[in-house]
Homo-oligomer: A and B are copies of this chain.
Amino acid sequence: MNICAPQHSLAPLVHRLACIFDLSEAEKEAALALPADVRKIKAGQDLVREGDRPSRSCLILDGFVCRYAITGDGKRQILAFHTRGDIPDLQSLHLKVMDHSLAALEPSTVAFLAHEDLRRLITQHPRIGDAFWRDTLIDAAVFREWMIGIGRRSAHGRIAHLLCELFVRLMTVGMAEGTSFRWPITQAEVGDALGLSNVHVNRVLQDMRADGLISLAGGLLTIHDWPRLKELGEFNATYLHIRHAMPI
């Protein structure tokens, strides 16, 4: 039984997996046939919370979500941004207790996939299991890259790197138009992601605009000078482990 409305197929999942793993047609069909409970999520709403023991994982069909943790003194660290095709809490399939939370940054569409069904799919199609494993490994690679940024790069470098990463990832899922993409992330959220204050994020973004690197207005971000932005952020897409060469 697939309770997913027809206009909300799991195509984004298959598209994402195909970006990182070579799936057969039979495997793609099996993935598409996963039962899914599709829901609209309001901005700011938590999908999963630290301490939860979820019995299903969230596939993002549309929108933006983030994973975050709150420190003892109430500061928020955003751990990752996710969008179409991502399953940010796929890990809960093997780690029972959530060690961080998941929230929507804007109104989003999410398909909930029961662990039970995912396990059955993996058993019947071990290569889909490999693809999922690979996906979680790439997730970890992104964490490592952010660690390098937060630990060793300047504020300008960190922000440039984040912009580059999001651009490449959004492009692979068809959410970029040319070098522009929707930007529903506030400056405070960028700060919480990169270990910076919102004030400083603001100043750096203004520098970048003044330098002609980017423009950002009305929720749309445009990259005007990709080579220079890439250099500033020391961005190299290898760690995203995308199978096909980027057109940029």
- Between A134, A147, A234, the greatest number of chain B beta carbons within 10 A of the residue's beta carbon is seen for A147
Q: At the interface, yes or no: A185 with Cβ under 8 Å from chain B?
A: no
CB 8 Å contact bits of A106-130 with B (1 = contact, 0 = none): 0000000000000000010010011
A144 and B79 contacting across the interface, CB-CB below 8 Å: yes
Q: Which of A31-39, A56-64, A93-101, A169-177 contacts B (4 or more CB under 8 A)?
A: A93-101
Distance (whole angstroms) from the CB of A145 to the closest CB of chain B:
8
Contact with B along A141-153 (1 / 0, CB 8 A): 1011111101111
For the complex formed, measure the closest distance between the CB of A238 and the CB atoms of chain B, giving whole angstroms.
Answer: 6
- B94–A195 touching, CB < 8 Å: no
Task: List residues 72-89 of chain A with CB under 8 A from any CB of chain B.
Answer: 72, 75-77, 79
* A18: Cβ under 8 A from any B Cβ: no
A220: interface (CB < 8 Å): no
CB contacts (< 8 Å) of A95 on chain B: these are 134, 137-138, 141, 241
Q: How far is the CB of A95 from chain B (nearest CB, A)?
A: 5
Asked whether A136 is an interface residue with its Cβ less than 8 Å from the other chain, the reply is yes
> In the complex, what residues of B have CB within 8 A of residue A150's CB?
147, 150-151, 195
Q: A46 interface residue, CB < 8 Å from B?
A: no
Q: Tell me whether B133 and A94 are in contact (CB under 8 A).
A: yes
8 Å CB contact of A144 from B75, B99, B151, B194 = B99
Given the interface contacts A134-B94, A136-B133, A241-B95, does A100 sit within 8 Å of B144 by beta carbon?
A: yes
Nearest CB in chain B: distance from A87 CB, A? 13
Contact of A137 among B69, B91, B239 (CB under 8 A): B91
A79 vs B99: C-alpha distance in the bound complex, in angstroms? 19
- A28 to chain B minimum Cβ distance, whole angstroms, is 19
A–B Cβ pairs within 8 angstroms, 9 of them: A71-B234, A75-B152, A76-B152, A91-B141, A94-B137, A97-B238, A123-B126, A133-B133, A136-B140
A interface residues, Cβ below 8 angstroms from B: 67, 69, 71-72, 75-77, 79, 91, 94-95, 97, 99-100, 123, 126, 129-130, 133-134, 136-141, 143-148, 150-153, 192-195, 234, 238-239, 241
